[in-house]
Structure 1
Amino acid sequence: MPKRILIAGGGYVGLYTALQLQKNMQPGEVEVTVVNPENFMVYRPLLPEVASGTLEPRHAVVPLRAVLRKSRFVSGTLTGLDVERRVATVQPPAGPTREFEYDELVLGLGATSKLLPIPGLVDHGIGFNSLAEAAYLRDHVLGQLELAHATNDPELRRCALTFVFVGGGYTGVEAIAELQDMAVDVLEGYPGLDPAEMRWILIEAMDRILGTVSDDLAELATTELTARGIDIRTGTLLESAENGRLQLSDGTKLTTDTLVWVAGTRPQSILGELGLPVDERGRVVVDDTLRVNGHANIWSAGDCAAVPDLVKGGTCPPSAQYAVRQARQLGDNLLRTVRGQAVKSFRYRSRGEFVTLGKNKAVAEVLGCKINGSLAWTLRRAYYATQIPMLNRTVRVLGDWLIGMPFGHDVVDFGSREEPRGAFRRAAGKR
């Protein structure tokens, strides 16, 4: 009988673990089932370019059914676990829950936005963790430019042209840089709007942005962003966001329709309900072979796991670069376990870091060398083009990049897709 391997989560860990199994498993050796709420994996490093319109949203995802042809895909969400019976409970999009028996279980549930109890944040903020959020922000920013151009009310105009991002890590820096670059590029299509009227503000609680990269790289990014007029407020907290009126810890008060919350992530809350060991941050505790402590047949990696870093000490950073390598090691260890062989420890040293800052703008650290400008931007694109696990998607992404290079950003606002039934209801005389 083939061993049943159940993978909960279709992100980096789930996808790349399944791909590694498909690549090396023998016929009849294992049965792989992948459970995920969506039938695609979002290639997250490309989300900032989706937000700026550089990439078509569909090209920044990997369709799970298309790449996992030797695996079984089930749409659903993990809701429970019986470790004694080796049974996982899954909630499909509709209907009753289902139970899946397993011999080996992989938890690759990723992370979600880490919200703080700030008044008004939930009602007025938006995250930047999903394809829908990235696409929405592009339309929203263009919609704000349209609003500012159409109104004669100076307060409304100032509110529309104020864009606030909370969180100066990778996601926050790349998101504000790409969207500001897009907004400046399209502004010539809005006669009467002055670039100086736009206020782009990045709020970071720590004493510098990009806290996980070297000081030199963070300084390069800071210099680039401030030269473009982006207001970086370090050592600053958002205290309130009620009614779109922001109160900052430095005493600043702002009125804005754009509040983007990118101040970190946390593991999915279900992890704390499964009866498995978790650390103070809610991550599953695993050993250096990626096996959950105290559970010989349960494994985990990526953002939802506290993976020991055997190179630098502590735990591995929650980055795509580490998650992909962990998943490949996990796939190998699963097959080693099935075959009765000794598993191996995960050990990886980062090859470098890339931070995109808009079209032809980026900073990077590659093999110890600091790079910025067009070269860093080109190297980043070349690297990610080689990492997309599907030739079809690689060609589409390269096509978007090549076609877009000689042209500016598209000014079309598809904000109406947020309410697709609006035109239909208006035709019926309803509002």
Structure 2
Amino acid sequence: MKTIVVLGAGLAAAPLMRQIMRTTVLTRNNLKMIVVAPNTHFHWPIAMPRVVVPGQMADDKVMFPLEPIFREYPADKFEFVLGKASALDPSGNIVTVALNAGDNRAISYDTLVIATGASAKDDMPWKVLDTTEKTVERLHSLQRDIKSAKTIVVAGGGLTGAETAGELGFEYAKSGQKDVYFVHSGDLPLAPPVLQSVRKQTQTELEKMKVKMVANTTVTKATRMGRDTVLELRAADGSTTTLTTQAYIPTTGVTPNTAFAPASMLNGHGYIKQTTRLQAEGHADIFVVGDAGSLEAPKAQNAEAQTIHLIKALPLHLDGGALPEYQVNTKDVYGVTLGRSRATGQMGGFKLFSFLIWYVKGRFLGTDYAPLFAAGKKTMMTTFEK
């Protein structure tokens, strides 16, 4: 019996698991799959900027239990191991797993798929925080802070920061209920390759909602003092000031979940070095998809494209066939939701209409199809056979 081990159960892994189980593992006598992940629920990150706003979306709109999804697979062909990869020995084809229940387990593989994704910095629930329980606990704590706050500060000028500032501005700032600040290091929100016109519209829409923009500034320190958090801010000219808030929401990027991998497999930023056939460099039996890999920026659309490619390529690999090359995405596509009624974005060098992005993304932030994504039956752009 040959074993496919999949590390991760998130955006990149969910469609891959179901489709490889259906098309390959269940149709062959000599294959089984083992999935390793520390989370009991699939986490839908696209909607999190709206979920953090108290009362907007229930937990079950963005977190879906894995057990009912995995239950349909026979035990002799599929196993779910609740734990986190802690070490990888590529020469021995063994991954060591730190089990959630305690102790360690060594798992042998014939083919390994690394889809461990990335974690949000600053202990924020934009991504899974180790376990589902920790993620829910942190989310609810953040919602309580926001609900009772008079002043809210969002820090970090990327997509998550802009969307979160938009949701909070729509809910609180434009009506004067709460002050919402958006601290970002550039002259405008977002950054190239996002078009200048898209960046300007993002700022304009946030200002219309009375979000207080603090440009060319970074948060250098956050100190909790009772219910308040005192932020030390440094401007681009080197000057410093402080800002007191009751809800501090950093959106300062991600760290790849690759600490288990040997240093020789990682690039200088901690991502697994990934070939255009989605294999780990120098390891023909290890595949990498999504945010853990070095090939493309950690974005949901890139993870999806890589996963769809591997769904087709992995059976060829198992049969000893030549692998097709993955085409790296060269067209920049962004959809930025700004509150519950406005949006902006681009496709390549063209700015898109606000209504189009609101209609496609902003109405539901993908929660209308997230259950199907969790079950591996759909991605953002592809629907598989049920």
1:90 matched residue in structure 2: 97
Tell me the distance in 2 between the aligned counterparts of 1:182 and 1:137. Answer: 16
Cα deviation for residue 275 of structure 1 reads 4.4
List aligned pairs for 1:39-50, cutoff 5 A: 39-50=40-51
Q: 1:289 touches 1:344 (CA, 8 Å); kept in 2?
A: yes
Q: What is the identity, as a one-letter code, of the residue corresponding to 2:85? A: L
2:6 matched residue in structure 1: 7
Equivalent pairs counted in the alignment come to 350
TM-score (norm 2): 0.82
1:136 matched residue in structure 2: 141
2:131 matched residue in structure 1: none
1:393 to 1:97, Cα distance in 2 relative to 1, 3 A: closer
Q: 2:195 touches 2:351 (CA, 8 Å); kept in 1?
A: no
The question of 1:210 aligning with 2:199 is answered no
Greater fraction of residues in helix: 1
1:393 to 1:5, Cα distance in 2 relative to 1, 3 A: closer
Aligned with 2:284: secondary structure?
coil
RMSD: 2.7
The question of 1:357 aligning with 2:338 is answered yes
Cα deviation for residue 281 of structure 1 reads 0.7
2:132 matched residue in structure 1: none
Q: What is the identity, as a one-letter code, of the residue corresponding to 2:336? A: V
The question of 1:106 aligning with 2:116 is answered no
The question of 1:255 aligning with 2:256 is answered no
The question of 1:329 aligning with 2:304 is answered no
Q: 1:360 touches 1:378 (CA, 8 Å); kept in 2?
A: no
Cα deviation 1:314-338 (Å, max 9, x = unaligned): xx22111110111122232221111
The question of 1:282 aligning with 2:280 is answered no
1:378 matched residue in structure 2: 359
List aligned pairs for 1:103-182, cutoff 5 A: 103-114=110-121, 128-130=126-128, 132=136, 133-144=138-149, 161-182=150-171
1:383 to 1:266, Cα distance in 2 relative to 1, 3 A: closer
Tell me the distance in 1 between the aligned counterparts of 2:59 and 2:365. Answer: 19
Cα deviation for residue 223 of structure 1 reads 0.7
Q: 2:62 touches 2:370 (CA, 8 Å); kept in 1?
A: no
Q: What is the identity, as a one-letter code, of the residue corresponding to 1:220? A: Q
Q: 1:361 touches 1:372 (CA, 8 Å); kept in 2?
A: no
Structure having the higher Rg: 1
Tell me the distance in 1 between the aligned counterparts of 2:125 and 2:248. Answer: 9
Tell me the distance in 1 between the aligned counterparts of 2:251 and 2:370. Answer: 24
Aligned with 1:249: secondary structure?
strand
TM-score (norm 1): 0.74
Q: 2:5 touches 2:109 (CA, 8 Å); kept in 1?
A: yes
Cα deviation 1:238-263 (Å, max 9, x = unaligned): 12222422221133321122211111
Q: 1:14 touches 1:34 (CA, 8 Å); kept in 2?
A: no
- Residue segments in structure 1 that go unaligned for 5+ positions in a row: 116-124, 145-160, 188-194, 308-315, 395-431
Aligned with 2:217: secondary structure?
coil
Greater fraction of residues in strand: 2
Q: Name whichever of 23-32 and 248-257 sits farther off.
A: 23-32
Q: 2:165 touches 2:206 (CA, 8 Å); kept in 1?
A: no
- Residue segments in structure 2 that go unaligned for 5+ positions in a row: 129-134, 377-386
The question of 1:219 aligning with 2:197 is answered no
